[in-house]
């Protein structure tokens, strides 16, 4: 393990740790208005990591995952919180996941679609958040259904509703929140994917930085701190990833 002073230079060369935050995933981070700061599980983890390094923290906030990934890959931020995906892995070095969440399909109550297998058919349009983990996954998996992309995850349900699309895909908790506001919809009975949430940094930060961040994540899990944060923020339906 590298020394704290070396880690500080690797992660915060400007003297401040810049953490890329995606508020499009309500399990990890939220922001009540553009003028207010973000809060949530990923915010608290980032603060803990900054404390470990002994530096101040700055949050670089986005409302979609692809913007958050680009910020880290392009050097606008030092670390980020992402769903593991092979496409993103071309520029991002991921830790092992610290959290597992589920991707589900939502349909109108009267829809003939009853299972995940019914979704991949010609004439079925699936709303997703552009660049999200489930967009990347479904872009590989769906062969006949058409993917319709909203600008960010929060825009998925409004677009799905406005254009009378057949299916909306997303993080289970976000879809459940949409259903609480708007009646007449249901989730399909099974998830279509497990979304593995990890921390990440640009690959060009090097192996030492990746190893240090990975050790931090594993220690966080071992200490039971992920579970504590889920309870603190009232997050249900997410699972702490196994310790590696």
**How high is the pLDDT of residue 38?**
93
The model carries a pTM of 0.90
> What contacts 73, CB < 8 A, 6 or more positions away?
91, 92, 202
In this prediction, residue 32 carries a pLDDT of: 86
User: Is the distance from CB of 92 to CB of 69 less than 8 angstroms?
Assistant: yes
Within 8 A by CB and 6+ apart from 180, the residues are: none
pLDDT tens series, the chain, 244 aa: 788 899 999 999 989 999 999 998 989 999 988 788 899 999 999 999 999 999 999 999 999 999 999 999 999 999 999 999 999 999 999 999 999 999 999 999 999 999 999 999 999 999 999 999 999 999 999 999 999 999 998 899 999 999 999 999 999 999 999 999 999 999 999 999 999 999 999 999 999 999 999 999 999 999 999 999 999 999 988 999 999 9
Sign of the alpha-carbon dihedral angle for 147, 150, 152, 153: negative
Spell out the long-range contacts of 28-32 with Cβ–Cβ below 8 A and sequence spacing 24 or more: 28/81, 28/99, 28/197, 29/81, 31/61
- Kindly list the structural domains of the chain, giving each domain's residue range(s) and its CATH number in brackets, ordered by start: 4-99+196-240 (3.40.190.10), 101-193 (3.40.190.10)
Pick from 55, 67, 60: which is nearest to 42 by CA? 60
- pLDDT at residue 21, as a whole number: 97
φ/ψ of 127, rounded to 5, equals -85, 130
Distance CA 211, CA 219 (A): 12
Closest CA to 195 of 127, 118, 137, 139: 137
Report d(CA 114, CA 77) in Å as an integer.
Answer: 42
Give the model's pLDDT for residue 221: 97
């Amino acid at each position: 393990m590298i020394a704290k002073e070396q880690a500080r230079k690797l992660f915060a060369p400007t003297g401040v740790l810049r953490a890329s935050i995606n508020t499009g995933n309500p399990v990890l981070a939220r922001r009540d208005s553009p003028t207010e700061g973000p809060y949530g599980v990923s915010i608290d983890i980032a603060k803990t990591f900054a404390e470990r390094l002994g530096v101040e923290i700055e949050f670089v906030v986005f409302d979609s995952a692809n913007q958050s990934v680009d910020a880290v890959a392009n050097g606008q931020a030092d670390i980020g919180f992402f769903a593991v995906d092979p496409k993103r892995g071309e520029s991002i070095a991921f830790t092992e996941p610290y959290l597992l969440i589920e991707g589900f399909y939502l349909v109108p109550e009267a829809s003939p679609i009853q299972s995940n297998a019914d979704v991949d058919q010609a004439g079925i349009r699936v709303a997703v958040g552009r660049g999200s983990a489930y967009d990347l996954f479904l872009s590989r998996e769906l062969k006949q259904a058409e993917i319709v992309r909203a600008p960010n995850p929060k825009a998925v349900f409004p677009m799905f509703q406005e254009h009378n699309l057949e299916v909306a895909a997303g993080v289970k908790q976000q879809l459940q929140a949409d259903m609480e506001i708007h009646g007449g919809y249901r989730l399909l009975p099974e998830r279509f994917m497990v979304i593995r949430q990890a921390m990440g940094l640009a690959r060009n930060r090097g192996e030492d930085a990746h190893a240090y961040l990975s050790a931090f994540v594993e220690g966080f899990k071992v200490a039971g701190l992920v579970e504590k944060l889920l309870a603190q923020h009232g997050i249900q339906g997410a699972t702490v990833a196994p310790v590696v």
